[in-house]
Structure 1
Amino acid sequence: MFLVLPFVSFLGFDDRNPLEVCPEHHADFSEKYKNRVDFAILENDQPIIAIECKCCGAALKDERGQLRSYFNAAPTVKMGVLTDGLVFEFYADSDEPNMMDEKAFLSFNLRDIANGRLDESVADGLKSLQKGQFDPENIGAEAKRKLIFQKFLQEITQLAEKPNETFTRMLLKTVGIQNVRDKALPDFQELVGAAFREFVNVKILQRLELTRGSIPAAPAPMEPVAALEPAKDSPVLPSDTELEVLAFVKHRLAFLVNDETLFEAIQKIAYSDYKGKFVVFYERERRGRLFDFWEGGNRGAKYRFAFADIAEEVATDRLSGTVIDAPLLQVFKKRVQGEAAAVGTEAPAALV
């Protein structure tokens, strides 16, 4: 009562009106087999939402069969809610009428919300369930859409973590690369995964309003290449640490610069990854070099930077703005503005 009824009230239903929120509502198959649902939300004296409540901390997956029975017994029920007061699961009959779906189309944990973690899809879903918005006749179609969306999201997540051959070849074709040999494909699959991670990093920065404007324009399609086997001096795929450094550098520059031109120039930062060295540059690798980065080993610092036009190497075990802000901003301004830019402090000496 102290956990579920406030949520029912939040949805806009009057928990003090037994003609709208009815406790212990009957959901009988017959006179012989009596059954009752903990709470039923009524519309025109007919139950449209069934709420089954369990003890706080109970394993809800073991109780879905009981909720499923209410769908079978009450033809007017279009949505079922299973909850322990903190975890809420919402079910519909999107495949067959009065046959509850196996998977919840919406779920959340009040602990997460109390800690400030509320996914947008959950917030939007709850809005659609509020009185005045909830449509019993269309909830099945809406649930189907959400379930398909969840499957899409799972598939995209899997592709980002480990792109399959079909997806990789499709992307290669869109950029003008065809007839890739099977033994060269794993390298391209890793490259697709790295591109996914970089895309996510950019979107996170934009979400935090650390970048401005629209997503950078996509590069022109690559010309078809005849030889796809990497040469000895060709760039290699970046490691997770190198991608972490690239994202951190863009993040710091977005925080440090106070000029619109410099802000827009952050979008033109790119990289080349060679065996043993990660090169970050502005626009062009040679003329726009910002720094070289090496990933340290067991005996040295984890992060090692050699900034352009600065003699001292910067080495540290912790990636922080305190260590790299001054030389980074200095060389970035110089590359963008074409002239040396003074900073408040000298470039730091090597730190460990």
Structure 2
Amino acid sequence: MDFKDQILQLAARVEKLLPQLKTEEATKNALIMPFIQVLGYDVFNPFEVNPEFIADIGIKKGEKVDYAIMKDGEPTILIECKHHLEKLDPHNSQLFRYFHTTKAKFGLLTNGLNYRFYTDLDEQNKMDTTPFFEFNITEIKEAEIAELKKFHKSYFDVESITNTASELKYLNELKTFLNKELITPSDAFISFFTRQVYAGVLTAKVKEQFGPIIKRSFNLLISDAINERLKSALNQEKQLEAAEAETIAGEPAPNIVTTEEELEGFYIVKSLLRQNVDAKRITYRDAQSYFAILLDDNNRKTICRLYLGSSKQYLVVLDENKKELKYEIKTLDEIYGYAETLLEAVGKLEKGKK
């Protein structure tokens, strides 16, 4: 399972667990420790994740941070945890006070739902009051997963993250500013855009007239952008369907070569499913980018897809929205470990038929 799948799997569990988490300690154990594990760190190895890390402040000794992610014996990320119902406020957090006493370059403040990453962009060795990267794990987006991946143990590089932190910080601040202005445009915002199209004197009445027009203009712009993306996605889906339609009952279309590896994967899937399904109903169609295994030779009844022949190989099933759920496999033999997943996929297709 790749990093994206692991994060999405954790996100799916979070809301189910919340009613049971009555304390900060429960939040740490159920939400935050699994998150640190997804980042590739061993939470049970104090050389990697040091719990209750001591960060002395002047004459105050024995002050502790919930976790410190360690590298070469020094902390690189300080993590302060709160109960999931508690709001995050860096001004009142111990993290804000401890940051300058250690060699850590990053601070993470979290309640298991919201994650805020800080560094020292404004003043060296003093933690910024605003995060450079922030997300809610139950609403995490593709772009946020890509940024979060930089903190994974396998990819972690202080210089690389620091170089992009400034851009991320101001990007987020501008996004917040624009969102606020689009909901309730300020006088300065209205004046700026009105001047671009209106040559007359900007009286209070003119600005009052242009306020709703500017707001509608931005809403239309956003709506058009969304529609364009939807069109693009639909066109891609049509192209995939056309590629699938070019194949007939296991006979590859021109320029598509079915490999021995793909056939071996097909026979493994077929052997796993024949206990529940007539083997004759399990067929395949080879497409340009993947190898599809179907029920009843129907490309709308995809049991799974195999992405083989590259450095990373995947077994893929489709959810109810036809979205791909990817499972990374190192060898074809690992398909045997997904027997229940494949049987469940067939079960859903059979249920749909009924």
Q: What TM-score, normalized to structure 2?
A: 0.50
Question: Corresponding residue for 1:201?
Answer: 223
C-alpha spacing 1:157/1:38, structure 2 compared with 1 (3 Å):
closer
User: Unaligned 5+ residue runs, structure 1?
Assistant: 214-352
Alpha carbons 1:78, 1:137 under 8 Å: kept:
no
Residues 11-50 of structure 1: CA distance to partner in whole angstroms, max 9, x if unpaired?
A: 1223343222222222123575222222111111111111
Question: Corresponding residue for 1:97?
Answer: 124
Task: State the distance in 2 between where 1:8 and 1:23 align.
Answer: 12
Task: State the distance in 2 between where 1:108 and 1:10 align.
Answer: 16
Task: State the distance in 1 between where 2:155 and 2:101 align.
Answer: 25
Task: State the distance in 1 between where 2:82 and 2:51 align.
Answer: 14
Task: State the distance in 2 between where 1:166 and 1:56 align.
Answer: 38
Q: Match of 1:52, SS?
A: strand
User: Unaligned 5+ residue runs, structure 2?
Assistant: 1-28, 236-354
Task: State the distance in 1 between where 2:113 and 2:89 align.
Answer: 14
- Which structure: larger Rg? 1
**Aligned counterpart for 2:87 among listed residues 59, 74, 91:** 59
Task: State the distance in 2 between where 1:211 and 1:17 align.
Answer: 44
Question: Corresponding residue for 2:99?
Answer: 71
Task: State the distance in 2 between where 1:57 and 1:100 align.
Answer: 24
Question: Corresponding residue for 2:164?
Answer: 142
Question: Is residue 189 of structure 2 the alignment partner of residue 161 of structure 1?
Answer: no
**Aligned counterpart for 1:44 among listed residues 50, 62, 72:** 72
Alpha carbons 2:77, 2:107 under 8 Å: kept:
yes
Residues 90-118 of structure 1: CA distance to partner in whole angstroms, max 9, x if unpaired?
A: 222211122111122233333x2xxxx32
Q: What TM-score, normalized to structure 1?
A: 0.51
Q: Match of 1:2, SS?
A: helix
Deviates more, 1:163-172 or 1:131-140: 163-172
Question: Corresponding residue for 1:14?
Answer: 42
Question: Corresponding residue for 1:295?
Answer: none
Task: State the distance in 1 between where 2:109 and 2:206 align.
Answer: 50
Task: State the distance in 1 between where 2:206 and 2:86 align.
Answer: 50
Q: Match of 1:124, SS?
A: helix
Q: Match of 1:3, SS?
A: helix
Question: Corresponding residue for 2:152?
Answer: 130
* Fraction of identical pairs, as percent: 32
Alpha carbons 1:93, 1:99 under 8 Å: kept:
yes
Q: Match of 1:57, SS?
A: coil
> Which structure is higher in RCO with an 8 Å CA cutoff and minimum separation 6?
2
Task: State the distance in 2 between where 1:43 and 1:9 align.
Answer: 15
C-alpha spacing 1:151/1:197, structure 2 compared with 1 (3 Å):
same
When the two chains are superposed, the root-mean-square deviation of aligned CA atoms in Å is 3.0
